[in-house]
Structures are given as structure tokens and as C-alpha cells.
Amino acid sequence: MVKTAEKPLTLAIDVGGTGIKGLVLDANGKPLTERERIDTPQPATPAAMLKIMDAIAEKMGNFDRVSVGFPGVVKHGATLTAHNLDAKWIGLDLQKVLSRRWNRPVRVANDAAVQGSAAIRGKGVELVITLGTGFGSSLFIDGRLVPGLELAHHPWRKDRTYEDYLGRQGLSKYGRKRWNKLLAKAIVQIESLFNYDHLYIGGGNAVKIDFPLPKHVTRVPNQDGLLGGVALWR
């Protein structure tokens, strides 16, 4: 249950290819509940996953608004891609669906954008990548999100994409040692592309990074995928 806190209260939902997570944040982004996590169903259809979101929302208790991070391109609250979920997600107006379902205002954004909102410092060019089921990315300039970036499926090596090598399947296929070598090369390549001032690396597999990161590259906690939810309302 949510304790008495400064309102409005935000239910933050982080939709992933392996798990759906949620917690409630106060007006300043402070967690008020324990994180709830439920495995993503297979097949990961909207109907099955919405039931899980319903269960998380019910367990969280009181909240005034909702922020959702989704693993794909999101425009105006609609999910335009869903590479690691069921194809029925493509073109779904998730923002409108959840708003009607829960009778609350809802904002939906790419999951890496939500995580980046919690991680960035708001100065210069800041890039965020997430290492999980897939390979997420978001770009910020002086704290403002550049919408629509989807680095995951850009061809990188031998006609394969960043996600092919650095997502969950790449980690399983190449093993942790080779995966780390590929990640180190990807960081060099990405820097030459974006010339960022700072790179943040999040996602569940960021803990598997074994090599020293450059000074302007920071590993951030996976929890930021929820803590950034309040930023969608600023």
C-alpha cells in the first residue's frame, strides 16, 4: 500500500521482454512501494500483458497518474514496433487503452527514454543504451529527449544489428567473454557516431560488463527504468 506522500502519485510501469515491473513514486520521484515484478507471458500478446499490468496496478493501491516505459518505438502514446514481443503490439494506442482501462491520465514512452530521464545530468549530448532482452537507446540534448531513436536494429557487423550481438540472444550465442569484447567495440563505434558528452549503460545485463569503462561512460541501475517515470510529466 502507498504511504501518505506528496501528490500526485505516479504508477511507473516498465514493460520488458522477460519481465513487467511496477512501483509507485511520489511527486519528487521517490519510491513509495516495493517493486513488483511478474514474468512476461509467452506469447507476449497485448491481452496477456495487460492482465499482468492490471494485477500490478491493483497491488500498488492508490495512484493519480501512470507512466509506462515500452521496449520499442513509441509515438504519441502508440507502440509502433515490438521486436521482442508479439506483433499485435504494433500500432496499438497503449496510452489510450490504459487511460480508459484505469480511468487515469497515462503517458507512454520508449523504455530507454524513461530510464535515461532518471540517469542523465541534463547537460550536453547524453546517450543511453540498455542491455536486456533487446538493445535499447535514447538520446538527450541539454536534457531534452530526441524522439524516435532506435539504434538496436541498425546494421553493425556482417549485416547483423547491435541487438543481434548485444541483446539476450547475442549474450547466449557468443558467451559472456565475447559479448563483452563486442560491447567494448560497440561503445567505440557509437561514440564516433554520436560524439556524446556522456554515455549511460543500463538494463538487466549491464551487471555483466567485465571491462573498465571510460570516464565518460557510466553504468546505471536497472531501477532507473521505473524511477524516470515522473519525468514524463515534467
d(CA 58, CA 61): 6
Q: What is the pLDDT of residues 125-165, one digit of tens each?
A: 999 999 999 999 999 999 999 988 999 999 999 999 999 99
Please name the residues in contact with 197: beta carbons below 8 A apart, sequence gap of 6 or more: 123, 124, 125, 126, 216
Report the CATH superfamily, name and number, of domain 10-113+227-233: ATPase, nucleotide binding domain (3.30.420.40)
Considering the domain 121-224 in this protein, what is its CATH number? Answer: 3.30.420.40
Q: What average pLDDT does this structure show over 74-102?
A: 97
Tell me the per-residue pLDDT of 168-225, one tens digit each, with 9 for 90 and over. 999 999 999 999 999 999 999 999 999 999 999 999 999 999 999 999 999 999 888 8
Average pLDDT, the chain: 95
Q: The cell 482501462 sits on which residue?
A: 101
Measure the N-to-C terminal CA separation of the chain; round to a whole number of Å: 25
Confidence of residue 3 (pLDDT cuts 50, 70, 90): low
Note whether 197 and 124 are within 8 A (CB). Answer: yes
| Average pLDDT of the segment spanning 80-95 | 97
The residue count for the chain? 234
Q: For the whole model, what pTM was predicted?
A: 0.92
Task: Note the pLDDT of residue 4.
Answer: 63
> Within the chain, which residue ranges are assigned CATH 3.30.420.40?
10-113+227-233, 121-224
